[in-house]
Structure 1
Amino acid sequence: MAFYDDYLAKIENPDHRQKMARVLQWVEKRYPNLAGRIAWNQPMFTDHGTFIIGFSVAQKHFAFAGEDEVIAVFGPEFDRLGLSYGKKLVRVSFDQEVPYDLLAKVIEYNIADKQDCQTFWRPRAK
């Protein structure tokens, strides 16, 4: 059983549950070296113990988070795709197509950028 099955079972809307399941399965299949886990009641993926990407679900959207660095780097692409975002996460409306190409860029950026990171979160700049 996948690590996120219990999480998915709590999503009441079956269409939303199915969409979130497809996203998590896509990450799991495309990036088999990432470790999946539930933390802070959300599914997330890590690489050598460092955070790569996490997901959450709200009533009208799901969100992915890759730390605030991702927002700074990919903000123009989020704008171009009409995605709503804040300081640490990006919202994808359940009626939007999942931007898998962009998700891949975010995940691959974090994997490369954090390859030498020894902490769960990026160290904050001083």
Structure 2
Amino acid sequence: METLEDFLTKIDDPQNRMRTEEIFAWVMKEFPTLEPKIAWNQPMFSDHGTYIIGFSVSKKHLAVSPEGAGITHFTDAIAEAGYDHTKLLVRIPWNGPVDFELLRKMIAFNISDKANCETFWRK
């Protein structure tokens, strides 16, 4: 798998594929300087070579990973959006709404927080 399009074709459920495609298109429109890529068989977006946000799919949800710092910083907002989360990812149920404002804030936080980061992951 080398592109976001390749990743999308692997999503069996057409509605889940369309939802994921919508989110990827939104990220690219809202943050045109981010570089989409596939790494570890997962789609992600980076800025100046550093990880900003990644995605993965499961049967019941789309997982969003803004790294642990992003989860910690937005724990209350994640709960307010009605999403379940772990230390490293937020679960957006396929049958519920996408909180694009929360996604915007998580991405903007990582871009700002990692502006001087010289590694892919936070240290």
Output the TM-score relative to the length of structure 2.
Answer: 0.97
1:71 paired residue number? 71
* Sequence identity percentage: 44
Q: Distance in 2 between matches of 1:34 and 1:46?
A: 6
1:23 paired residue number? 23
Deviations 1:22-75 (A, max 9, x none): 000110111110011001111100000000000000001001101100111100
State the AA in 2 paired with 1:78: I
Q: Secondary structure at the match of 1:59?
A: coil
State the AA in 1 paired with 2:110: N
Shift of 1:81: 1.4
Shift of 1:3: 2.8
State the AA in 1 paired with 2:63: A
2:94 paired residue number? 94
Output the TM-score relative to the length of structure 1.
Answer: 0.94
Q: Distance in 1 between matches of 2:3 and 2:58?
A: 20
Query: Structure 2: 5+ residue runs without aligned partners?
Result: none
Q: Secondary structure at the match of 1:44?
A: strand
C-alpha RMSD of the superposition: 1.0
Q: How many residues align?
A: 122
Query: Structure 1: 5+ residue runs without aligned partners?
Result: none
Q: Distance in 1 between matches of 2:69 and 2:89?
A: 10
